[in-house]
C-alpha cells in the first residue's frame, strides 16, 4: 500500500514537471524578446540630441481644424518670458528711415505787397473784378451769405430784407464813353437768387420808387449789363424825392469822377433800424438811408470817399454827406475793402478829401 502511494506521488511529480514546461518556454521567449528590443532601442537612442521644447507644444486643448495653414504663419499668444523660435535665431532689426536729401536750391522769399509800392494799372479790357477769383472791391462776407455775380456787377442778397446788403462794380471812363443803349425799364425778379427775390408788384401803391443800387446809367454801354440792372435784387424802396434828387445827383458825380480818374470801384447799399417798415407781399424792408463808397486806384494815385444819406428829399450839398470809410464802417458795422493790404487800407480809409474829387 505504501509502495503504491509512493509510485503515485512520483507520477504526480512527473506530471507537474511536464505541466510547467510551457510556462518556462513562455518566460524564455519573453526574455529573448526583451533582449532583442533592448539592442534595437540602444542603437536608436545612441544618436539622440537634446530636444528643446517648441512653442507649439505648450498649447493645450488646441482645436483641430481642416483649414490649410500652408505658407500662413500661426498666430500664437506669447507667454511671459517665452520667445518664438524665429526670435531666438535672430533679433529683428528696426527699419531705419532713409536719409533726408539735402536741398540743392535755396528757397525764394515770398513776395509781399509793400504799402509804398506802385499799384498796377489795369487795362479797360480786364474783367478781373468780375471773376470769383478776384473779389478785391467786395466788402467782407461769409460762406453763408448769398453772393450773386451778374456779368458786370456783384451783390450780396439779404432774404430778410428782400434786397441787397451791398452792390459792387467797377466803373470805367472807356465804358461810359461808349454809352449807346437806352433803358427799357424791364423790372423783374432775379432768377439767380435761390431764395427768390422781391417782385415788381411789391412796390405798387407803396409810395416808394424802385430805386437802383447799381444805376442803370452806369451800364448803358452794354445791352445785357443794362438789362441786368433791372433785376429786383438791385432795387430798394427809395422815397421819390430822394431817388430823383440828391441820390441821382450823387450818381451823376460818380460817373464824372470815373471819367476824370479813368476807373473807380463803387459799393452801394441800404441801412436799416431794428424795426423798419415793410411793403408788398414779400415784405420788402424800407431802409432809413443809403451809403455809397468810391475807391480810386489808378497808377500812383490812391483815394477813397464815402457818403451816407437819409432816405428822404434833401437840398443840402453833397459834401455835407461825405465822410471817411472808417467813419462809415463805425456807423454800418461793415468792413469795406478787406482784400487791400492792411497798411494801405488804413491810409485809404482813415481820411478823405472831397475837393480831391
Q: Where are the beta strands (DSSP E) in the chain?
A: 146-149, 154-158, 163-172, 209-212, 235-238, 263-271, 278-279, 284-285, 289-298, 301-310, 322-323
> Is 243 labelled a binding residue?
yes
Is 212 a known active-site residue?
yes
Strand pairing class (146-149; 289-298): unpaired
b/e map 82-92, b = 16+ CB within 10 Å: eeeeeeeeeee
Gap between the Cα atoms of 199 and 185, Å rounded: 14
Residues 6+ apart with CB under 8 A from 260: 173
Burial of 219 (0-12, 13-18, 19+ CB in 10 A): buried
Gap between the Cα atoms of 336 and 266, Å rounded: 11
Gap between the Cα atoms of 182 and 154, Å rounded: 22
Q: Are 214 and 236 in contact, with CB atoms under 8 Å apart?
A: no
Q: Are 284 and 233 in contact, with CB atoms under 8 Å apart?
A: no
- Which cell numbers in the block locate residue 12? 504526480
Q: Which of 41, 150, 212, 253 is catalytic?
A: 212
Gap between the Cα atoms of 116 and 94, Å rounded: 57
Q: Which residues are annotated as a binding site for Mg(2+)?
A: 243
Q: Which residues are marked as active site?
A: 212
Amino acid at each position: 500500500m505504501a509502495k503504491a502511494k509512493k509510485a503515485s506521488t512520483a507520477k504526480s511529480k512527473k506530471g507537474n514537471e511536464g505541466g510547467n514546461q510551457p510556462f518556462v518556454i513562455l518566460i524564455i521567449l519573453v526574455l529573448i524578446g526583451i533582449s532583442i528590443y533592448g539592442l534595437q532601442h540602444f542603437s536608436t537612442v545612441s544618436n539622440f540630441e537634446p530636444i528643446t521644447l517648441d512653442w507649439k507644444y505648450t498649447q493645450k486643448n488646441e482645436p483641430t481644424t481642416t483649414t490649410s495653414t500652408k505658407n500662413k504663419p500661426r498666430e500664437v499668444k506669447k507667454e511671459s518670458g517665452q520667445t518664438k523660435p524665429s526670435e531666438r535665431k535672430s533679433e529683428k532689426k528696426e527699419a531705419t528711415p532713409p536719409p533726408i536729401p539735402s536741398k540743392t536750391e535755396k528757397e525764394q522769399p515770398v513776395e509781399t505787397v509793400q504799402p509804398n509800392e506802385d499799384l498796377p494799372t489795369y487795362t479797360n479790357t480786364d474783367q478781373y473784378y468780375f471773376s470769383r477769383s478776384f473779389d478785391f472791391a467786395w466788402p467782407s462776407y461769409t460762406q453763408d451769405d448769398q453772393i450773386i455775380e451778374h456779368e458786370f456787377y456783384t451783390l450780396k442778397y439779404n432774404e430778410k430784407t428782400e434786397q441787397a446788403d451791398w452792390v459792387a462794380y467797377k466803373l470805367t471812363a472807356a465804358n461810359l464813353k461808349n454809352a449807346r443803349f437806352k433803358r427799357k425799364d424791364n423790372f423783374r425778379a432775379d432768377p439767380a437768387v435761390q431764395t427768390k427775390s422781391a417782385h415788381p408788384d411789391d412796390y405798387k401803391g407803396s409810395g416808394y420808387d424802385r430805386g437802383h443800387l447799381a444805376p442803370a446809367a452806369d451800364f448803358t454801354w452794354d445791352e445785357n449789363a443794362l438789362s441786368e440792372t433791372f433785376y429786383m435784387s438791385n432795387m430798394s424802396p427809395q422815397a421819390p424825392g430822394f431817388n430823383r434828387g440828391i441820390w441821382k445827383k450823387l450818381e451823376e458825380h460818380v460817373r464824372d469822377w470815373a471819367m476824370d480818374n479813368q476807373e473807380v470801384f463803387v459799393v452801394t447799399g441800404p441801412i436799416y433800424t431794428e424795426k423798419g417798415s415793410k411793403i408788398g407781399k414779400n415784405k420788402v424792408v424800407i431802409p432809413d438811408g443809403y451809403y455809397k463808397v468810391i475807391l480810386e486806384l489808378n497808377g500812383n494815385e490812391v483815394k477813397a470817399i464815402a457818403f451816407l444819406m437819409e432816405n428822404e428829399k434833401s437840398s443840402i450839398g453833397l459834401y455835407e454827406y461825405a465822410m471817411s470809410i472808417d467813419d462809415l464802417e463805425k456807423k454800418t458795422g461793415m468792413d469795406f475793402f478787406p482784400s487791400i493790404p492792411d497798411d494801405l487800407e488804413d491810409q485809404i480809409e482813415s481820411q478823405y478829401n472831397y475837393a480831391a474829387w
